[in-house]
Homo-oligomer: A and B are copies of this chain.
Amino acid sequence: MKYLLKIEVSLKSGHSDPEGETTNKLLTELGYIVDSVDVSKLYTIQLNAKNLKDAKLKAEEMCNRLLANPTKDNYSILIEEQE
């Protein structure tokens, strides 16, 4: 079975996000009234797995082994069955 994973990896609160701060500053200079800007990374992955449970397990594993740094990152996972 094929699954589409959408994995968002964002900084835990309290960690500095210079790109978000700079974007906030620039948007404010452009005249927008912005309270906050956070920048995160979104992985869109087409994965082969046995079933939805297996896909979820593999997605969690991928985050812990490669995509996210547990010291500074949070992650969230969306899974969509494709066939």
Please name the residue on chain B nearest to A35 by beta carbon. Answer: B46
Classify the secondary structure of A's interface with B. Answer: strand
- Which of B27, B42, B49 meets A41, CB within 8 Å? B42
Q: List 5 A-B contacts (CB under 8 A).
A: A10-B44, A30-B66, A34-B45, A39-B41, A39-B42
What distance in Å separates the Cβ of A81 from its nearest Cβ neighbour in chain B?
14
* Oligomer: number of copies: 2
Interface residues of A (CB under 8 A from B): 2, 8, 10, 23, 26-27, 30, 32-49, 58, 62, 65-67
The reply to whether B47 and A33 contact each other, CB–CB distance below 8 Å, is yes
What distance in Å separates the Cβ of A40 from its nearest Cβ neighbour in chain B?
5
